Amino acid sequence: MADIAITSPAKSPSHLGAGLKRGGARLWVGAALVAILVLVALFAPVLAPHDPLEQDLLSAQLPPAWMQGGDPAYFLGTDSLGRCVLSRLIYSARTAVIVALIAASLAALIGVALGLFAGSFGGWVDQVISRLIDVWMAFPPVLLSIVLAAVIGAGLTSVIVAIVVVDWTRFARVVRAETMVQLTRDYAAAARAIGLSRAKILRLEILPNLVPLLVTLLAVEMGIAILVEVILSFVGISVSGDTPTWGSMIAEGRQIVYQAPWIMAFPIGCIIASVIGLNLLGDGLRLALDPVQRS
Amino acid sequence: MTATLAIENLKVAIGDSNVLRGVSLDVQPGEVRGLVGESGAGKSMLGRAVLGLLPANAVIASGRITFEGRDLLAMRETERRDLLGRRIALIPQDPMTSLNPVKRVGSQIGSLLRHHLSLSKRAALTRAAELLTEVAIREPERVLSLYPHEISGGMRQRVLIAMAFACDPSLVIADEPTTALDVTVQRQVLQLVERLRLRYGSAVLFITHDLGVVAKICRTMTVLHAGRVLEEGETAEVLVRPHHAYTRALLAATPRADRPAEALRPVPPALIEQLWSDARKLDSMSVARPA
């Protein structure tokens, strides 16, 4: 039977290397920005030159060190209470990272589960979940967390709950649609023909196909979570007043924006860099993780 | 002797249209039966009905499907799933899309083996490599670590054939396994199916529209049109002395090396028209119309 033997393709591709290459510059830039954010949050006490709460009214509103009148001890200057801006930026990263990680993961968990459910069962299950999605998508998270803050008190918990309660819909909607598409593919029928149960088909066959999509969504969602937290701390219903956050820094800087614009500019820069970093990382990972994708 | 597969008077409807109008057919142990018909004849639906893969809006109006004497339509879902992939296997039509695009070949064969034979991960991979050797794939270990898009269509179909025979099935349903392939690869795939079925002693229901393929590997054949069986019998008998006008027309429409191309005749439209109107007459007789 030698005449029908097939020799496998000659090249032996390294899958990991090929994946990283597909990710391209986006992957690297995004990963670098996110890595910086996470490291800064983790090592905040080591990196911060000052206690972020320490006030020094005699050196209030100092400009950054490279500007005229700047003090090298306060590299990015001080705010109106004389607190070190750099240290406050560094400590704020902790709040951002915590919210991004917890809120986005929980939203993903709930959304993926319900999306798979709706997409695979169809019928009334799908109807109920889809209507639920419609209703919750119409609800602004900021408004919801104001309500939550009134009910369970302001704080990180109500911020996270508000984001999860509204944003699971982003995952559920996409996962539901994609599950329906994947289930019509031949490989899903082939999986049924080898006797796999519905649960096994979803877990072993469908879910792996959703991974690249989910990674992108998760990264984007983390960026959104950071933004929501910024908005809420800007209006003062996020964490308690003595914990520094980018949102509260912007709120404080806003009042003296003409005298000391840098106080507001730096946290805005941090937010933009984090969100862009997360989006780029998500994009890069999607390309890197999808073995079928070819540019 | 119990038939491996026995279908009795199977009627399937999708919405208002009947796709199978009382089909009966059986496949004896070790038999290779060709199921021939033009597209829309219902031959794929028949295969899907046996596997329980009918579309969600399809209704089995009547009939029985028994596998080794057990009623497939009456048994519980879990029992039926236990048979699928182990005792009844499918070789799907399109090798390009029937493998999961994001799973390596090894993990796909492995999850089948682990599901039905409860092998360990390592044992499953070893067995998977043996299976690939059986379908004449060189360097099986390396192929196991590749993704489906990294191997050719012919090779993918071999992987699917290996998976179909992996658990020593007694019935293999081959749903036009050569249609999506290059002509040069078709012959090799047929040889493989023939070799593996002899080795495992499986019966095969070979669904195809290609009479040439039937002549090559099927001992018996059934001609299906508009969801009805028009003719059946030993392949040699049917092809040499066809009784039904439609079978004769199909033969005249099949290109053969020993006849000039000018001898080819399309199936006469009038005949097809006649067959469809017969089929519809059958429908109106079986449905009691309210006055």
Of all residues in chain B, the one with the smallest CA distance to A185 is B97
Return the exposure string of A2-15: e unless at least 16 CB atoms fall within 10 Å of the residue's CB, then b: eebebebeeeeeee
Chain A CB contacts of B115 under 8 Å are 194-196, 200
Question: What pLDDT, on the 0 to 100 scale, is given for residue A12?
Answer: 44
How many angstroms away from the CA of A52 is the closest CA of chain B? Answer: 48
**A262 vs B24 pLDDT, higher one:** B24
Chain A CB contacts of B84 under 8 Å are 192-195
Reduced 3-state DSSP string for chain A: CHHHCECCCCCCCCHHHHHHHHHHHHHHHHHHHHHHHHHHHHCHHHHCCCCCCCCCHHHCCCCCCCCCCCCCCCCCCECCCCCEHHHHHHHHHHHHHHHHHHHHHHHHHHHHHHHHHHHHHCHHHHHHHHHHHHHHHCCCHHHHHHHHHHHHCCCHHHHHHHHHHHHHHHHHHHHHHHHHHHHHCHHHHHHHHCCCCHHHHHHHHHHHHHHHHHHHHHHHHHHHHHHHHHHHHHCCCCCCCCCCCHHHHHHHHHHCCCCCCHHHHHHHHHHHHHHHHHHHHHHHHHHHHCCCCCC
Question: What pLDDT, on the 0 to 100 scale, is given for residue B289?
Answer: 46
**Most B-contacting residue of A1, A6, A202 (CB-CB within 10 A), to test interface:** A6
Is residue A18 within 8 angstroms of chain B, CB to CB? no
> For residue B65, what is the enclosing H or E element?
strand B58-67
Section A254-264 average pLDDT = 84
Question: What pLDDT, on the 0 to 100 scale, is given for residue A14?
Answer: 60
Question: What pLDDT, on the 0 to 100 scale, is given for residue B27?
Answer: 93
**% of chain A with per-residue pLDDT over 90:** 31
**Backbone dihedral region of A134: left (phi > 0), alpha (psi from -120 to 50 degrees) or beta?**
alpha
B205: closest CA among B81, B63, B68, B89?
A: B89
Question: What pLDDT, on the 0 to 100 scale, is given for residue B130?
Answer: 92
Section B257-264 average pLDDT = 73
Strands B32-36 and B58-67: unpaired
Would you say residue A295 has pLDDT above 50? no
Q: Where are the alpha helices (DSSP H) in B118-182?
A: 121-134, 140-144, 153-164
A residues 199-258 lying closer than 8 A (beta carbon) to B: 200, 204-205, 208-209, 211
A97: closest CA among A267, A231, A229?
A: A229
pLDDT band with cut points at 50, 70 and 90 for residue B181: confident
Of all residues in chain A, the one with the smallest CA distance to B49 is A193
Section A60-64 average pLDDT = 75
pLDDT band with cut points at 50, 70 and 90 for residue A259: confident
Is residue A16 within 8 angstroms of chain B, CB to CB? no
Q: Domain residues of chain B, as ranges?
A: 5-102+147-286
B176: closest CA among B44, B27, B26?
A: B44
- In tens, the pLDDT along B271-281 reads 888 888 888 87
Question: What pLDDT, on the 0 to 100 scale, is given for residue A136?
Answer: 85
Section A45-63 average pLDDT = 77
Would you say residue B128 has pLDDT above 50? yes
A residues 148-187 lying closer than 8 A (beta carbon) to B: 185-187
Question: What pLDDT, on the 0 to 100 scale, is given for residue A5?
Answer: 58
Q: Which of A57-61, A264-268, B98-102 has the lowest mean pLDDT?
A: A57-61
Report the predicted TM-score, pTM, of the whole model to 2 decimal places.
Answer: 0.80
Is residue A12 within 8 angstroms of chain B, CB to CB? yes
Q: In the CATH hierarchy, which top-level class contains the domain B5-102+147-286?
A: alpha beta
Q: What's the whole-number average pLDDT of chain B?
A: 87
Residues 6+ apart with CB under 8 A from B237: none
Question: What pLDDT, on the 0 to 100 scale, is given for residue B259?
Answer: 73
Name the residue facing B112 among A194, A209, A290 (closest C-beta).
Answer: A194
Task: At A87, give phi and psi (nearest 5°).
Answer: -65, -40
pLDDT band with cut points at 50, 70 and 90 for residue B287: low
Name the residue facing A5 among B94, B111, B136 (closest C-beta).
Answer: B136
Section A69-79 average pLDDT = 76
Would you say residue A2 has pLDDT above 50? no
Is residue B289 within 8 angstroms of chain A, CB to CB? no
Section A185-193 average pLDDT = 90
**Most B-contacting residue of A8, A181, A204, A293 (CB-CB within 10 A), to test interface:** A8
Q: Are B86 and A186 within 8 A, CB to CB?
A: no
A54: closest CA among A239, A242, A228?
A: A242
- CA A154 – CA A237 distance, rounded (Å): 5
Chain B CB contacts of A122 under 8 Å are 56
How many angstroms away from the CA of B115 is the closest CA of chain A? Answer: 8
Q: What's the whole-number average pLDDT of chain A?
A: 84
- In tens, the pLDDT along A219-245 reads 999 999 999 889 888 888 777 767 888
Neighbouring C-alpha atoms within 13 Å toward the C-beta of A6: 24
3-state helix, strand, coil in chain B (%, to 5): 40, 25, 35
Name the residue facing B98 among A4, A190, A291 (closest C-beta).
Answer: A190
Q: Which of A125-139, A149-163, A257-271, B99-113 has the lowest mean pLDDT?
A: A149-163
- CA A145 – CA A265 distance, rounded (Å): 26
From residue B142, give the alpha-carbon distance in Å to each of A82, B99, B104, B129. Answer: 65, 17, 11, 9
- CA B198 – CA A294 distance, rounded (Å): 41
Q: Are A195 and B188 within 8 A, CB to CB?
A: no
**Most A-contacting residue of B100, B135, B160 (CB-CB within 10 A), to test interface:** B100
Q: Are A13 and B150 within 8 A, CB to CB?
A: yes
Is residue B155 within 8 angstroms of chain A, CB to CB? yes
pLDDT band with cut points at 50, 70 and 90 for residue A293: low
Would you say residue A11 has pLDDT above 70? no
Is residue B98 within 8 angstroms of chain A, CB to CB? yes
- CA A39 – CA B182 distance, rounded (Å): 55
- In tens, the pLDDT along B206-240 reads 999 888 888 888 999 999 988 888 888 898 888 88
Of all residues in chain A, the one with the smallest CA distance to B107 is A204
pLDDT band with cut points at 50, 70 and 90 for residue A104: very high
pLDDT band with cut points at 50, 70 and 90 for residue A4: low
Question: What pLDDT, on the 0 to 100 scale, is given for residue A272?
Answer: 94
Query: Is the confidence metric ipTM above 0.85 for this complex?
Result: no
Q: Which of helix, strand or coil describes residue B205?
A: strand
pLDDT band with cut points at 50, 70 and 90 for residue A62: confident
Question: What pLDDT, on the 0 to 100 scale, is given for residue A131?
Answer: 93
Section B170-196 average pLDDT = 87
Would you say residue A1 has pLDDT above 70? no
Would you say residue B29 has pLDDT above 70? yes
Is residue B103 within 8 angstroms of chain A, CB to CB? yes
Q: Are B81 and A211 within 8 A, CB to CB?
A: no
Would you say residue B288 has pLDDT above 50? no
A233: closest CA among A279, A272, A271?
A: A271
Chain B CB contacts of A290 under 8 Å are 102
- In tens, the pLDDT along B30-81 reads 999 999 988 878 888 899 999 988 888 888 988 999 999 899 888 888 899 9
Indicate the CATH number for domain A24-289.
1.10.3720.10
Q: Are B152 and A6 within 8 A, CB to CB?
A: yes
Residues 6+ apart with CB under 8 A from A192: A201, B51, B52, B53, B84
B residues 193-222 lying closer than 8 A (beta carbon) to A: 195
Q: Which of A289-293, B3-7, B99-103 has the lowest mean pLDDT?
A: A289-293
- CA A193 – CA B160 distance, rounded (Å): 12
pLDDT band with cut points at 50, 70 and 90 for residue A72: confident
